[in-house]
Amino acid sequence: MQIHMLILDGRITKNGYTKPEKLIFKGDNVVECCIIKLCELYFGPKVKDKIEDKLGSSEKYKIITLEDLK
C-alpha cells in the first residue's frame, strides 16, 4: 500500500508562497508511518518517541521523498 502526501513546512519561497514537501509512504505499516512522521514534523521528536512507544514499534519506517526518486 502507498500513501502520497503534500506537507506544508511553513517555509516561504521567493514568490511568497509556502512550498509543500511531497512524501510517499510505502509498506505494510503505512498508517503508523504517516502518524509518526506528521507528529515529528509538527510536534517534535519527543512526541514522536511517545507515539512510537504507544504503537510498540521499534523498527524504522520507509519514507521516500522526491529527492530519493531523482
State pLDDT tens for residues 7-16: 876 677 777 7
Higher pLDDT residue, 64 or 22? 22
Residue (of 43, 38, 36) closest to 57 by Cα position: 36
Q: pTM score, two decimals?
A: 0.60
Domain count across the chain: 1
Percent of the chain surpassing pLDDT 70: 74
Q: What is the biggest distance separating any 2 CA atoms in the chain, rounded to whole angstroms?
A: 43
pLDDT of residue 57: 55
29-56 pLDDT, tens digit per residue, is 888 888 888 888 888 889 888 887 777 6
Q: Name the residue with cell 512550498.
A: 19
Higher pLDDT residue, 5 or 56? 5
Residue 21 sits in which domain range? Answer: 2-69
Residue (of 63, 49, 60) closest to 4 by Cα position: 63
